[in-house]
Every structure is written in C-alpha cells, then in structure tokens.
Amino acid sequence: MAIGIAILGAGKHLPAIQLCPDFSLKAIYSPVRTAAEGLATDANVEAYFDSPKPPGRALSALLAREDVQAVTIALPIPVQPTIIREVLEAGKHVLSEGPITDNVAGAEDLLEWHRKQSGNTLWSVGENFRFMEPVLYARHKLREIAGNVEIFSVKLHGSIDKSGHSFPALWQQDHEHQGGFLLDGGIHSVAALHFLLSAVSTSITQVAAFTSLVQPNLSPVHTANATIHLDNGNSGTFSISYGSEFANAFEVRIVTGQGAVTLMPTRVTVLTRNDDHNVVTVTRDFPADSGVKRELAVYAKGIEAGKIDPRGTPEEALMDLKVMQGILESGEEGGIVKAVTQYER
C-alpha cells in the first residue's frame, strides 16, 4: 500500500511525489491560504493553512489525519525546527529541506531532542545534490581512482533575479538568518563537496574565509571565498557568489595522487593514467537532473525499511551546516581559522 504523504510549504517536491508509486499525496499545507489552495487545487487534494483560520484547516488538523503517515517540509529556514518537532511529535515521518536549521547550536539541540524520542518515526534532511546522477557518478569514479586528496576546488557563481515577483519573499525569509542567500544556496555545494570527499575517506577539519557584499539588496553577504583544510593535511578552495550577473558557473574538482574528477551540472570529466603512464581523459554527459525524484523515491524506501538512507541523515546535514557556518563566521571575523568538529554520535 502506498504511503500517505502531505507537503508542508513550497511545492518543489510535488512533481516527484506524483511520480513516485510508493507515495499517495493526501494534502498540502502552507501558512497562507492562497498558496496552499493554489497547489492543492492543481494536485486535487485538500488544502490546510494558518491564515485566515477556518475550522479544521490548521496544520494540527492535517497532522491528526490517520491517512497521512509522512510529510515533506520546505518552509522558511528559521521556522522549520518548530514545524519539524510538531510533525515528529504527531508521529509522522519527516523529510525536511536543508539546511537542517539556520545555526549549528539549534541543529544540535534538535538532533539531540530527536534522539531521545521514543518510537520509530524517521527524520531525514533533504539534500538533492547527493542524489543527482552526475554527483553519484563522480563519487563512483573517485572511489575507483582512490588515492590521497592533494587539492580541490569548488566554484559556484551566479546571480539572484531581483526583478522576479518572488524576490521580495525570498529576500525576506533569507534576510532573517545568518548568511542569507549564501546559507540557503551554498549549503548544497558544501554537501556535494562533503559527499565527494567521503568517497576517498577524507573529511574537512578547518575553514578560513573572506565574505563580502556588493549588492545591498542581497544582505547580509552574498560572496564567500574560503580555504578549506582536510584531515590529511592538504587543502583546497571554496568560492561562492550570488552577486554578479556576469558570473555563472558551477564546478567541483577533486585531485588525488591517482587522478582527478571534475563535476559540472551535466558533465563529469575523469583524468587517470593508463598502463603506459599516459594521461587519459574520459568525459560523460548527463541530462539535467535535480535529483529530487530519486531523493523522494529513496525516502519512501527508507520509510518502508524503517531506516533513513545515509545520504539523508540529520548527522550528515549537521556536518554540512558546520562547514557553512564556519565559513560565514570566519568571514565576519576577518578570515580567522575556524575548526569544524565532527559530530559525536
């Protein structure tokens, strides 16, 4: 029997849920009635909302439904922890959109609270980059190549469309937490790097960064350039900016003593040496892939098995946040080195 699921917040998960035979969409919630009803009408399910407050349409009413066993949550970052607690306390499984929370202390508190809860309710933190086909292929090739990581680089450059009708709402929700757009978008690049480095048993131990703001309406900061130190003693660079309309790039390159892998949105390039010690370049192209469809399918299988996939655990999301917060705090303090401590299970 399909798992009854509800969407809380933005509709980014809607197409993937509709395509997943293991889920049956039952309801959609949004704080505002117009947003909830707009999505629910298109999906032909019931809408729930907080404003205005009609009887039987609040979030609590949705969570009381016995035909809803799971939810996805994509709400503004600062409000998600409260909603996550409420949903888990109601006995529903949760896939909450990353970042896990807006700060490390809050994430650790939420994770510790969840660990102490009784029952078998599962909590997964969404990170679609870890489910993208090019990322999965790049990780597979890194495992094949192996070797000690010698150097790496991450580059994410783009711009925020300030003319779009959704920009005021996006700015308002991102302006309220540390890092603004950098945290909201940059966490995914950190997750990709974290995921790829783990393929060669390498972890991040320290960061040092400079941050800046050129576009005032993208405050508090929109650009960060960091050096990231690894547990093997080597280091690499991490550059992210949403501040220029003339910069548009996403690339992750990891070089080991045995070869190199370069990841782009729809292409992976692998460099190795053949038996004659000549450098061999192999490139593979992929169709555009957000990873969300695969992520939701894995979430469903995890509920059926009673265990969250390792790519979606809150512990993984906490490590991503620790790196991103370290970058932001280092930038605030003029580039001083910040330690990235491993999570104590």
Q: Is 50 in contact with 29 (CB distance < 8 Å)?
A: no
pLDDT reported for residue 160: 75
Count of C-beta atoms within a 10 Å radius of residue 210? 15
Q: What is the predicted pLDDT for the residue at 53? A: 77
- Going by pLDDT thresholds of 50, 70 and 90, the confidence category of residue 28 is very high
Work out the percent of the chain whose per-residue pLDDT is above 90: 76
Q: What is the pLDDT at residue 75?
A: 92
Mean pLDDT calculated for residue range 97-115: 95
Residue-level pLDDT at 162: 57
Asked if pLDDT for residue 19 goes beyond 60, the answer is yes
Provide the pLDDT for residue 32. 87
Helical packing angle, 104-115 and 314-332, nearest 10°: 160
Q: Tell me the mean pLDDT in the region 119-134.
A: 95
Degrees, nearest 5: CA angle 35-40-44: 160
What is the pLDDT at residue 189?
95
Name the least confident of 8-17, 141-150, 169-178, 257-266. 169-178
Q: What is the dihedral of CA 70, 75, 80, 84, to 10 degrees?
A: -10
Of 36-40, 68-72, 175-179, minimum mean pLDDT range: 175-179
Rounded to the nearest integer, the mean pLDDT of the chain is 91
User: How crowded is residue 201: how many other Cβ atoms within 10 Å of its Cβ?
Assistant: 12
pLDDT score at 177: 59
* Among 28-32, 33-37, 217-221, the least confident range: 217-221
Q: What is the pLDDT of residue 135?
A: 98
Tell me how far apart the alpha carbons of residues 17 and 20 are, in angstroms, rounded to a whole number. Answer: 5
* Band of pLDDT at residue 255, cut at 50, 70 and 90: very high
pLDDT confidence of residue 213: 87
- pLDDT value, residue 163: 56
The reported pTM is: 0.92
* 305-324 pLDDT, tens digit each: 999 999 999 999 999 999 99
Query: Could you read off the pLDDT of 149-174 as tens digits, one per residue?
Result: 999 999 999 887 655 544 444 444 44
Distance CA 203, CA 209 (A): 18
pLDDT in tens, 260-302: 999 999 999 999 999 888 999 999 999 999 999 999 999 999 9
User: According to the model, what pLDDT value does residue 172 have?
Assistant: 44
